[in-house]
Amino acid sequence: MRTEFEESLHRAVDGRAGREDLLALAGARGDEVRALLGAALSVRLSGGRSVTFSRNVFVPLTNLCMNRCAYCGFRRDPGDPGAGYWEPGRAARVAAAGEAAGATEVLVSSGDRPEAVHGEAALWLRRHGYRSTVEYAADVEDRILRSTDRVLIHTNVGVLTRDEISLLRPLNASMGLMLESSSPRLSGPGMPHCCSPTKDPRVRLRMIEDAGSLGVPFTTGVLIGIGETWEERVDSLLAIADLHARYGHVQEVIIQPFSPEPGTPMWKSPPPDPVDVAKVVAVARLIFGPSMPLQAPPNIAGPSRPLLLSAGADDWGGISRLTPDYVNARHPWPSEEELSREADALGMRLRPRLPVYPRYLLGGWLPEGLRERALSMSDEEGYARA
């Protein structure tokens, strides 16, 4: 006789789990957790043994932001030490240094639309000849592409309009926006997204959908441990799966554990239990099947990296020898050598990847102007081919 839990797990492995099955799996305890992780690992291994990562440099164009996410240690107010915009030349210099050191991804990120609430941001932009942070990002990205041969850009500067996605599209191999959560409850009074209008899940889902309808290879994901329930975790993953089913553009899903940052309202909130994060990874693996890359941040995961690989994660995202993780600055990046040894110990194999995954290299997903560059970069030893 199989238990209800085992019935749900079997349906999930066969790719026929409904929401109720997934909720039952999310409720796994004790021996059930081992069974859940084991099943997710077997699904993941049916797709291969590679563990991927991206050699990147991080370009945070500005830490000013219209939102105030309670967990964010990156954001600054005008006048705070270190607050403001990077000068235009700095990003191109970092990109060139990255290229010289073998980086293949420039991650361009920033706070969401700071000029909407901060006169200082609007003034800086106007003085430099830009009407918006997004327009500034486009100009910086154009300079980066003109001064390099072998890097590709991935932009996540928060929520964009359709026109803004179209403006950045020719400059980007892929774009990203974390859904964080599909729960509007987290935007209520006293909740982490109370004071962040563009963390409204309807707003985020709309942008992810716009990117899909414009054919942009897209990175998104969930933030775990900011007060969401298991039901909300499952629904967030299902919302991403639904958009991917309609547009096919979700190139990877990030499972990002909350990590307390000094000086933020959530500094005293505990990070999520690593086993719970592994359970989210496993449920995501069962929802998305063997071929969707599942990314976890290797610096935040630290000692639980082997646990996450054993739960079905297969990508470590961007790591860098040159630039810190500006978002979780207390967590240094591990080295390629460390990640490689850990993968070997599990019978897996660490491999570099580009900021656009192989399945999007062909078929019209890449902008014309980047196709040759991306294909030639994917010919490099060790990189997966189209």
Ligand X SMILES: C[C@H]1O[C@@H](n2cnc3c(N)ncnc32)[C@H](O)[C@@H]1O
Measured CA distances, 89 to 33, 103, 128, 136, 227 (Å)? 50, 19, 12, 12, 40
Closest to 232 measured CA to CA, from 288, 283, 174 = 283
Residues that bind ligand X (CB under 6 A): 71-73, 178, 180, 223, 256, 258-259, 261, 327-328
Residue owning tokens 């979700």: 250
Joined tokens for residue 54: 């991206």
| Count of positions on this chain that bind ligand MET (CB under 6 A) | 10
Q: Is 158 in the site for ligand MET (CB under 6 A)?
A: yes
Contacts 24+ apart (CB under 8 A), 184-187: 185/232, 186/226, 186/227, 186/228, 186/232
User: Minimum CB separation from ligand SF4 for residue 123, in Å?
Assistant: 19
Residues that bind ligand FO1 (CB under 6 A): 54, 56, 58, 105, 107, 154, 156, 174, 176, 178, 219, 252, 295, 317-318, 325, 327, 355
Q: Measured from the CB atom, is 219 or 304 closer to ligand FO1?
A: 219
Which one of ligand X, ligand SF4, ligand FO1, none interacts with residue 223, CB within 5 to 8 A by kind?
A: ligand X
Which one of ligand MET, ligand SF4, ligand X, none interacts with residue 328, CB within 5 to 8 A by kind?
A: ligand X
Give yes or no for a contact between 305 and 344, defined as CB atoms under 8 angstroms apart. no
Residue 242 CB partners (closer than 8 Å, separation 6+): none
Joined tokens for residue 81: 């030490």
User: Minimum CB separation from ligand FO1 for residue 249, in Å?
Assistant: 13
Q: Which of 50, 156, 161, 340 binds ligand MET (CB under 6 A)?
A: 156
| 185: DSSP letter | G
Which one of ligand FO1, ligand X, ligand MET, none interacts with residue 58, CB within 5 to 8 A by kind?
A: ligand FO1
DSSP-based three-state secondary structure for 60: strand
Measured CA distances, 223 to 62, 122, 180 (Å)? 22, 30, 5
Which one of ligand X, ligand FO1, ligand SF4, none interacts with residue 180, CB within 5 to 8 A by kind?
A: ligand X
Q: Which of 35, 122, 178, 322 binds ligand MET (CB under 6 A)?
A: 178
Q: Measured from the CB atom, is 121 or 327 closer to ligand X?
A: 327
What are the residues binding ligand MET (CB under 6 A)? 65, 74, 109, 111-112, 156, 158, 177-178, 327
